[in-house]
Amino acid sequence: MIDKLEMLLALASERHFGRAAEVVGVTQQSFSAGIKQLEDRLGVLLVQRGSRFQGFTAEGEKALEWARRIVGDSRAMRQEVRRLSRGLAGHLRIAAIPTALPVIASLTTPFHARHPGVRFTIRSTTSAEILSLLANLEADIGLTYLDNEPLGRVTALPLYRESYRLITAAEAPLGRRDAVTWAEAAEVPLCLLTPDMQNRRIIDAHLRAAGTAPATALESNSMIVLMTHVRTGRWASILPTVLAELLGLTGHLRAIPITAPEVSHAIGLVALQRDPALPLVSAFVAEAREAALGFSGGEEVPV
């Protein structure tokens, strides 16, 4: 039954029989047979079928809720039992917004030193997708904004507050300033994240609040693309302070604080509210709670 419920979760994620079969490591024929066996066991039709996947029935949607609960409990049980004999081990899947990627190593490195049997998968994605991945048990931990858009039924741990800087060439019109306003930042050609990223929506909101709109010359969902363009000295961007520090700015680039007003947004860990929690998740959150004090100088980070 657990295997069949795993198939149902894979189908909810992929929305395609062939791709879902690949995720669980079986042939499409075996996958379809497994879903049919689950339907026979429950005595209801779960999936709307045609030439391709068309969605779930009302009964299928309700079965998905139970599948997430049962599969989550099954994984928690396996981790807890193994921990008693082998110590904490397993696979921890982290989904993070691109602007928070620089801080992940400061969390995973001490955790792995303490628990070498744990391996990580880190995925960069949007804040909305993070919540979807958590809900469908495809991610264990999210690293995202806490105070800008609804989070739903998750446990949240604030880590630090994200502030912003204009990254520009020293010889550019604003390059010698000690600080710039949001209105001034909007006047230079900017390369920014795409609008599906919450960071971009935040930046656009602050620029609009300053009575202007950004002169966006380039958009990308890749921080690497933005960084490489900024490094040429011919592009400017608005980046979080922690990311600007990661850039290792060369002599001809400057990271200038954006003021009037000075703004910041809370970044933190999120995980599904569940009891019992996955042992890996509980241990990682505890490790992150210690790290949060270091990020904030020993003070609790407000949301």
The pLDDT tens digits for 102-157 are: 899 999 999 999 999 999 999 999 999 999 899 888 899 999 999 878 888 899 99
* Residue 212: other Cβ atoms inside 10 A: 15
297: confidence class by pLDDT, cuts 50, 70, 90: very low
Which of helix, strand or coil describes residue 115? coil
The arithmetic mean of pLDDT across residues 182-196, rounded, is: 92
Q: Which of 298, 234, 287, 235 is nearest to 113 (CA)?
A: 287
The arithmetic mean of pLDDT across residues 178-196, rounded, is: 93
pLDDT at 300 over 60: no
268: confidence class by pLDDT, cuts 50, 70, 90: very high
Pairing mode, if any, of strands 216-220 and 89-96?
Answer: unpaired
Confidence (pLDDT) at 281: 92
The arithmetic mean of pLDDT across residues 235-247, rounded, is: 85
Confidence (pLDDT) at 109: 95
The arithmetic mean of pLDDT across residues 297-303, rounded, is: 52
Alpha-carbon gap, residue 119 to 112, rounded angstroms: 8
Alpha-carbon gap, residue 256 to 153, rounded angstroms: 37
**Two tokens, residue 49:** 């079928």
pLDDT at 194 over 90: yes
Alpha-carbon gap, residue 260 to 241, rounded angstroms: 16
